Structure 1
Amino acid sequence: MTTSRYRWVILGIATFTQAAAAFFVQGIGAMSVHLQRDLELNTTRLGLLLSAAQLLPLAGLLVAGRLLDRYGERWIVGTGALVVALALAAGRAAPGYVSLLVVLLIVGAGYSTIQPGGSKSVASWFDASQRGLAMGIRQAGLPLGGVLAAVALPALATACGWRSTLMAGALVALSGAVAFMAFYRHPPDQRPVPTTSRVSLELLRESYMKKIILSGASMVSVHGGVGVLTVLYLHEVTSMDSASVALVYVAVQCAGALGRILLATWSDHHRSGRYACVLTCLTAVVVGMTMLTTPIGRSTIAACLLFIWLGFFGIGWYGPWVAYAAESAPPDRTGSALGLAMAVNQVAVILAPPMLGLLTDMTNSFAPAWALLAALTAATLTTTARL
């Protein structure tokens, strides 16, 4: 197969591996009603489950970025996905909440290689004219994993208990590991190069990196809020039944997958550059979150439409964002730059779900959480538009 054709194979396996590795963690939000009931969790402890999988990547992403630049993507990404599978398989024996937290910590360590590795693989194989489209398709793997998880895991938890969902997640992650190690090849005209120890700190001084980090931290907070609160909000505020809520959650994830593709493709042709598309997403999120704090947000139909809107922009932003990040970095430091940006963003990924859950528990209302996310996003929009 020619190089021009094989890049689409690379894109396919990178997307599949992303979806497979993220499958179980993305399904936690969809299983929130089951987990709260079976493990007797409040919203704060539920949020901690989402954060647990993101804790070790805080350091792991930096390490993964350097390993990717030095050794390439094939075995680093494949091994990471294999760690996810083994941790979930072992987690089937978890007796309760604390054990599940430990399992998710290990899952996060394995997942550290997937995000920067998959992004770097696509950036390596596609030139600038199609990089946004390719990045968008690849990054759609995360919400696509969420779609499949939202369809399968709640039904599996109802039929066989929540522990059975860990084994399902393990099998899916294993398939992603096998696929990536079997089919991924490094571009024939490129080879991994040694890295220096000070590159990451130097990158932090760059204006583009400040924009990447600020916008990324803001929007992953939004993504976390949508992930942990959507199902509970629709169930408690609009009185939707669990089956209907699950369908809406699927629609939100589908909107996110579509957004990652369409918004990234749009960024390939936007006259003002890729970051202008990120600014559009920030603006759309401010509008959507603000609307949720008004009486309109308590209407069942309006709330469903608002969450789909937030899915499209609040999850879809990642496509143009990661393409902008990959192109802004020095060509031989793409892995390190992506790892650094994603590692800094992990602070927000870790803190957002439990903090938003705690705020919801303390106020007995979802409105403060939505208002906080709207305010943070508006501040980011104003600040980064000036950089």
Structure 2
Amino acid sequence: MAHPLRYRWVVLGIATFTQAASCFFVQGIGAMAVPLQRALGLSTAQLGLLLSASQLVPLVGLLVAGELLDRYHERWVVGIGAAVVAAGLLLGSLAQGYAPLLLVLLVVGAGYSTAQPGGSKSVAVWFHPAQRGLAMGVRQAGLPLGGAIATAVLPAVATTYGWRTALVVGGVVALLGAGLFTALYRRPPVAVAAHPARGDAPGDAPPAVPARSRRASLTARLGILRDPSMRRILLSGTSLVSVHGGVGVLGALYLHDVTRLGAGPTAAVLVAAQVAGAIGRIALAAWSDRSRAGRYRPVLVSMGAVVTGLTALATPAGRSPVAAALLLAWLGFFGIGWYGPWVAHLTESAPPGRTGFAVGLVMAVNQLAVILVPPSLGLLRDTTHSFAPAWAALAAATAVTLAVTARGDRTPRMKGPAV
């Protein structure tokens, strides 16, 4: 292995790539809205159910993944999960119709359950708190970067060669991520892991957790949600992930139906929004490393910006192609970028020795929004024949969350000597 201080950047690179590869196909579903609707005759609500199907199993799978990460090596937990994503997509290319595609995405979600908490923990144990926000932001940028590439590639593949070929492409990409992470990831040596994520032991052995703690009931472990900081993290995450899901399921249809943009310009706008999200995840996380007000302040700013963007999108001004493109890029930067500082704050707020479980638990609860929001917004669109009520609902929910969580923003930033 290369020098530890340099190898952490290798770890960051492979964790970012694996994140992008694992979510590649799922992030491209929204962009494939038009060809999928034409090929399968789907309503907007049915399209939203495709996104929900890929996120259903993680409702429980994230809890399981978090527990596995506290017991076993991240290398195998993440690698096997990404391989399951690949296998599901490759086998799913044989699917015939809408119902089999839903089943395929359930399998994909089961494998993807390990990517988010596993990748977050693998980066957290390699980086000192003073650099952890930036590192987390870079890794979390893998999701919108994967989404940007998927948005540029998968709709064209689905239109030209069919949606089943798009599954093959997604499966091959996920397989590359699984192989790379399994081959190259290592845990840090003790010298580097002197300041790991709070409560996680350094070295190559799994974190030492007392047997009595392992026998603790699930109810007792769920008690971490009584902590005010964890509740604030949970509320803000649920709100902002709803915005991300809403833009994902409605963005392409809005540009196509309301602004009358063609397939090429629509794809370009969606790619720009995903790239803005990747930049946001890095920039906002880097800000959180230096913010005297704490890591949570960039999350509050993101919620305020999202409320502004969604409100503008719901007005007649949002029907202009130029305005819609700019607003979606704005929502990409803040509505996707929030995740970098948020997940860094989450890992540092976790109880000692339970980082994997805490990350998995909070992400699992967030899955409720990820599952319910896309089909609900799709149904609202189908019922009202307008996108404005959906944008307004997301803006209102985010505004309420901002008002509630801003009152508890008193957490100081975490400091420590440089590694």
> Which range, TM-score by smaller chain?
over 0.9
Task: Report how far residue 72 of structure 1 moved.
Answer: 2.3
Aligned to 2:70: 69
SS in 1 for 2:296: helix
List, as ranges, runs of 4+ consecutive aligned residues in structure 1 with deviation greater than 6 Å. Answer: none
Q: Does the 8 Å CA contact 2:224/2:351 hold for their aligned counterparts?
A: no
For 1:311-370, what per-residue CA distance to the aligned partner results, in whole angstroms no more than 9, with x for missing partners?
Answer: 000000000000000111124211111001100000000001000000000000000000
Task: Report how far residue 141 of structure 1 moved.
Answer: 0.3
For 1:194-232, what per-residue CA distance to the aligned partner results, in whole angstroms no more than 9, with x for missing partners?
Answer: 363446312111111101110000000000011010110
SS in 2 for 1:332: coil
Aligned to 1:183: 184
Distance in 1, Cα, partners of 2:36 & 2:128: 44
Distance in 1, Cα, partners of 2:228 & 2:358: 13
Q: Does the 8 Å CA contact 1:200/1:340 hold for their aligned counterparts?
A: no
For 1:137-158, what per-residue CA distance to the aligned partner results, in whole angstroms no more than 9, with x for missing partners?
Answer: 0000000010110111111112
Aligned to 1:98: 99
Q: Does the 8 Å CA contact 1:275/1:324 hold for their aligned counterparts?
A: yes
Distance in 1, Cα, partners of 2:156 & 2:252: 15
Q: Does the 8 Å CA contact 1:293/1:367 hold for their aligned counterparts?
A: yes
| Structure 2 runs not aligned, ≥5 long | 191-201, 409-419
Q: Does the 8 Å CA contact 1:81/1:114 hold for their aligned counterparts?
A: yes
Q: Does the 8 Å CA contact 1:292/1:367 hold for their aligned counterparts?
A: yes
Aligned to 2:248: 227
For 1:364-383, what per-residue CA distance to the aligned partner results, in whole angstroms no more than 9, with x for missing partners?
Answer: 00000000000000000000
1:112 aligns with 2:126: no
SS in 2 for 1:45: helix
Task: Report how far residue 300 of structure 1 moved.
Answer: 1.1
Aligned to 1:142: 143
For 1:15-68, what per-residue CA distance to the aligned partner results, in whole angstroms no more than 9, with x for missing partners?
Answer: 000000000000101110000000000100000000000000000000100100
SS in 2 for 1:135: helix
- Aligned pair count reads 387
Q: Does the 8 Å CA contact 1:136/1:261 hold for their aligned counterparts?
A: yes
Aligned to 2:310: 289
Aligned to 2:52: 51
1:192 aligns with 2:206: yes
Cα RMSD between the aligned structures? 0.9
Aligned to 2:225: 204
1:85 aligns with 2:86: yes
| Structure 1 runs not aligned, ≥5 long | none
Spell out the pairing of 1:21-40 with structure 2 (5 A cutoff).
21-40=22-41
Q: TM-score, normalised by structure 1?
A: 0.99
Aligned to 2:339: 318
Aligned to 1:6: 7
Spell out the pairing of 1:249-288 with structure 2 (5 A cutoff).
249-288=270-309
1:342 aligns with 2:363: yes
Distance in 2, Cα, partners of 1:250 & 1:206: 38
Distance in 1, Cα, partners of 2:299 & 2:73: 29
Structure with greater helix share of residues: 1
SS in 1 for 2:226: coil
Distance in 2, Cα, partners of 1:13 & 1:26: 19
Q: TM-score, normalised by structure 2?
A: 0.91
State the identity as a percent: 65
Letter in 2 for 1:345: N
